[in-house]
Amino acid sequence: MDQKLEFAERLQAAMRAAGLEPRPAVLLNLFNANYWGRSVTFQAVSRWLRGESIPGQDKLITLAEVLKVEPEVLRFGEAVRKSVQARRQRWDEGVGYLERETFDAFLQLPAPQRKLIREVILTFAQVHGVDAPAATDKPLRHASGGREKKA
């Protein structure tokens, strides 16, 4: 489904959950009463509710506040929030002192060295079948000084 239509469905559902009728006039008045910037038009709010456009970040935050929903859930849905929470939990539970110490040292390295270390780690992950983001297409430089394309 189209991202804009999915957003419209989440916006309408959030309005219903807040006890509001999902109509442009209702959202227009509520939004403009709480938004610090320039007022939005009836047409803009109508496009949000019809799935023709998605508001910018500043407007999205205001919508989320007035509808009492998290901005990321309103914009991307519950699945994204659960994915972020799962990753955060993995970091909280799976990373001990030694790993954190290593990460701190990594972050203190100059950018070229960080890039090289990242490529090495991602290459090891690919070799061991770990689901990791693909390393860059640039070949790795080996300790022998030669170049070899990644597997």
String of b and e for 81-112 (b: at least 16 CB within 10 Å)?
eeeeeeeeeeeeeeeeeeeeeeeeeeeeeeee
H-run or E-run covering 148? strand 147-148
In tens, the pLDDT along 112-145 reads 999 999 999 999 989 988 776 654 444 444 444 4
In tens, the pLDDT along 41-70 reads 999 999 999 999 999 999 999 999 999 999
pLDDT confidence of 86, banded at 50, 70, 90? confident
Dist CA 126 CA 87 (whole Å): 19
DSSP-based three-state secondary structure for 37: coil
